[in-house]
Structure 1
Amino acid sequence: MCSTSETHDIRYLMIAKAGSSTSRYVMKNSFDGQEKRCGKKDFTNSTKLHCTFTREPSSRFISSYQEMVVRGFVNNKNKHVPVKKKVPAKYDKFLQYFQNVPNKDQYNLLFDSTQGRQVLNDALEQFIQDYDAQIPFDGHLRLQIPRLTNPETGRTVRLDALYDTTNMSSSFQELGNWVDMASPVEVIHGYDRGTKRMDIKELTLQTRQKICQLSAIDCCCLNYELPPECQNLVACR
C-alpha cells in the first residue's frame, strides 16, 4: 500500500508496524496524499520522490505479534471473535494461553499483575519457539525488507529517503523542506489501539535471541545495530 501525493510528487510506501498510521495521517493531511495499492511498476521509471519509514526489528516483531493477537480477539464492540486468519497448526500452541481472555480489556488487565504478564510472556515465548517465519500467515508478521523488494529481481525498489520511526516528526519536516512545503508539516502520531506494550526485557535470553534470528535480514539490510545478546548469533555480511 502506498500514499501518493500528486501535488508534491511524493510516493510513500507503507510498512505495517513501522509508523504507518502516523504516516497515513501526515501524508493525507499535509501532503494531499491518496492511498492505493502499489507494485513494482509504480517505482520503475517514476519521477516522484520515494520514501518510507522502518523500525528497529526486535521492537517491531513484538509489536507485530501483539497486533496479530489483538486483532484476533476483538471487534469494534470489544467482544470476543475467532482469530480472523487461521493459524497454521505448527504455530498454534500459543493460542492456549488466551482461552480465558475474552476481549481486549481482559487482555490489557493481564499487564497489571506479575502473574498476568507471565501469561503474556509465556504465550509469546511459545509462539517464538514454534515460529520459523516460513509462513507469515498474518500480514503484520511480514518482515520489512521483503516489503521493499521487487520479487522479480530480488533488489529493493528505488527509495530516495529511508527514515527511522524514532524521529518521525523531524523526518517529515525534512521531507517537507525537500519538496518546498510552504508551511510546517503537522505530525500527529497515529491511531492508538489502546493495547499495552510488552517489555522485551522481561523475555528470556533464548527468546530474545530467536527474535534476532527471525528478523536478521531486517537488521542486516537496514543497518540496525544488533542487540548485544545477538551479536554472536547473527553475522551481517
Structure 2
Amino acid sequence: MFTLLLLAVSIFVTFSLTTSVKFNSSASHQQERQIDSPLVLEKETIRDNTNANANSLRQTASTKYDNTSYEEALVQWIATQKQTTVGASTSIQQLLSTPIYFLPGSLPISQLSTLQHCYTNPTIYNQHLKSSSPRRRVPYSERYQLAYILLPKSGSSTGRFMMKTEFQAVEQTITLQPPLNVIAFVREPLSRFYSQYDEAYVRTAPWQKTQNEYSIDESTGDYVGDPHPYPYLHEGLSTYHDYEDVFCPPETRKNKNSRRECLFRESHENGTLASRLERFVQEYDGLSPFDVHLIFQVPMLSNRDGYAMYITELYNTTNSKQDWNDIAKKYLGESGLSNAKKESGGVIEGRSYPRRFDKSLVGKQTERRICELALIDYCCLNFPLPASCGRGGDGEEEKRLTCKMEYDEKAERIRVQPGVFPERVG
C-alpha cells in the first residue's frame, strides 16, 4: 500500500512540474535571421525571451512563481506597481480600486494567462471582432481532440500543414469549448505587421482579380466595387509586372529579360514602396482594417464580448520548430513523432519570400506608430516592445506606450487592455 502511495505521489509531482507555467522575462532583443528550418515560414522574425509554452489558468492550481502561487505573484506585482504593502487578506480587487499602467511585456505571468485577462473593447475594436466567435472553421483532429486556431501571418501555413499531416486534421466548423485541446501560435506584433501589410497590399492590388473587393475593371479603369481606401498604395502600378519592376528593377537583374530571380531575391526598390508603407501607417487608425490580414491577433483570439475564447495552449512562432515537436510528442508520443517526421519529410505547404519593400528604409517613427497601432497585441500577449518603440521620437514629448490594468466590477475579473488607443493622423 505504501509503495502504491509513493508511486502516486511521484506521478503527481512529475505532472505538476511538467505543467507548471514558465513566466516571461522582460528582457528582449531584436534579431533578423534567415530561414533555418523547414517548419519556419517567415524569413524575418524578431526574437524575444517570451515563453509561450503556458497551460491554461483553468488547469493550474499548482502554478508557481518564486515559490508563490499565481494569485500571490500577481498581487505582489500589482502592489509593487502601486508602491504599497499588502496584508494576508488584501485582494486584487482592492489593489485595483484605481487602474495601473505598465509597460508591455512586464507582467510576471505567461502569454496565455495574460490573454485570459485581456479585454478587447467591442466598441473600439468592432471591425476586428466581426468574425470572432467560439464557433469557427479550424483544422480539427477528432482522434486527438485537438483544434488549431488559424491566425494569418502567425505561422498559419505551417500549422495547417502540421495538423493535416501529423494529426490527420480536417478543416471544419466546430465550437471551441471543453474538453477540446485548443492551441494557437502568436507572433511578435511589429514583425507580423510587416507581413500583414505585404499580404494585404498584394491581395487588394489592381491586378488581383479574385477575392478582391477593390478590383478594377480593365476596360474602364474604374473600381468594380468600393474604391480602395488608400489608392496611393498602388499608384502607377496597374499590373504585377509594374510592381515587380519596382522591387526588382530590370537593370539589377542578372538577366534583364528574365523575371525568374525576382521571386526570392531581396528587394532592390528605391524607397517608393517603403514611403507608401510609411504614409499608410501614419494615416491608418488601426481600427478599420481594409483586409482581413490586417486584423490583430488578440481580437481573433477573443469572443464578441471582448474576452478571450477558450484556449488551452499558446505558443510563439519564434520557437515554432521546437514547439511543434513538443506538441507532436505530447499527442503522438515519441514513436509517433518519429513516424510523422519520416512521412512528412519536413516539407511544408506555404510560401516564403523576402519583403517587397526595403525595411531598412522604414524609420523608427513609423515603427513606433506600428507598435501604437498594434498595442493591444503587445499588452494582451505580454510581448515586450522593440527598442524602436520605447519612447517618442525627435521633437516629440517623451512618452511611453503603456498598458492598462483595472478591475471589472460587473464581470468580477481583471481587465488588461492598451493604455492608449491610436488615432488617425492624416
| TM-score between both structures, scaled by the size of structure 1 | 0.83
Tell me whether 100-109 or 21-30 shows the greater mean CA deviation: 100-109
Q: Which one of the candidate residues 43, 67, 91 is aligned to 2:176? A: 43
Write the mapping of 1:53-202 to structure 2, written as runs, cut at 5 A: 53-73=185-205, 80-81=207-208, 84-86=212-214, 90-96=229-235, 98-99=237-238, 102=241, 105-106=244-245, 108-109=247-248, 112-113=267-268, 116-152=269-305, 154-181=306-333, 182-184=335-337, 185-186=340-341, 187-192=346-351, 194=353, 196=355, 198=357, 200-202=359-361
Deviation at 1:13, TM superposition (A): 0.4
| Cα contact 1:4–1:35 (8 A) shared by 2 | yes
Highest Rg: 1 or 2? 2
Deviation at 1:101, TM superposition (A): 5.3
1:14 matches 2:150: yes
Deviation at 1:137, TM superposition (A): 1.8
CA distance in 1, matches of 2:370, 2:267: 25
| Cα contact 2:139–2:149 (8 A) shared by 1 | yes
SS in 2 for 1:4: strand
Deviation at 1:157, TM superposition (A): 1.0
Matching residue of 1:226: 385
Deviation at 1:192, TM superposition (A): 1.1
CA distance in 2, matches of 1:124, 1:158: 35
Matching residue of 1:77: none
Report the AA paired with residue 201 of structure 2: V
SS in 2 for 1:12: strand
Report the AA paired with residue 163 of structure 1: Y
Report the AA paired with residue 166 of structure 1: T
Deviation at 1:92, TM superposition (A): 3.1
SS in 2 for 1:179: helix
Matching residue of 2:372: 213
Q: Deviations over 1:58-97 (max 9, x none)?
A: 11111011011122348xxxxx335913376653332326
Tell me whether 209-218 or 80-89 shows the greater mean CA deviation: 80-89
| Residue correspondences, number | 225
Deviation at 1:36, TM superposition (A): 2.3
Q: Deviations over 1:157-204 (max 9, x none)?
A: 121111111211111111122224342254544411645454544311
Report the AA paired with residue 363 of structure 2: T
Structure 1 residues 112 and 173, CA gap change in structure 2 (3 angstroms): closer
| TM-score between both structures, scaled by the size of structure 2 | 0.48
Flag structure 1 segments of 5+ consecutive residues without an equivalent.
75-79
CA distance in 2, matches of 1:236, 1:88: 35
| Cα contact 1:73–1:103 (8 A) shared by 2 | no
SS in 1 for 2:378: helix
SS in 1 for 2:315: strand
SS in 2 for 1:149: coil
Identity of aligned residues (%): 29
Structure 1 residues 9 and 204, CA gap change in structure 2 (3 angstroms): same
Flag structure 2 segments of 5+ consecutive residues without an equivalent.
1-136, 215-225, 250-265, 392-399, 405-426
Matching residue of 1:25: 161
Supply the RMSD in Å over aligned alpha carbons.
2.5
SS in 2 for 1:163: strand
Structure 1 residues 97 and 203, CA gap change in structure 2 (3 angstroms): farther
Q: Deviations over 1:31-55 (max 9, x none)?
A: 01111245xxx123x2111101011
Tell me whether 18-27 or 84-93 shows the greater mean CA deviation: 84-93
Structure 1 residues 37 and 69, CA gap change in structure 2 (3 angstroms): farther
CA distance in 2, matches of 1:100, 1:12: 36
CA distance in 2, matches of 1:151, 1:158: 13
Structure 1 residues 59 and 197, CA gap change in structure 2 (3 angstroms): farther
Q: Deviations over 1:124-172 (max 9, x none)?
A: 11211211122112110000000000113x2111211111112111111
CA distance in 1, matches of 2:356, 2:381: 24
| Cα contact 1:10–1:49 (8 A) shared by 2 | yes
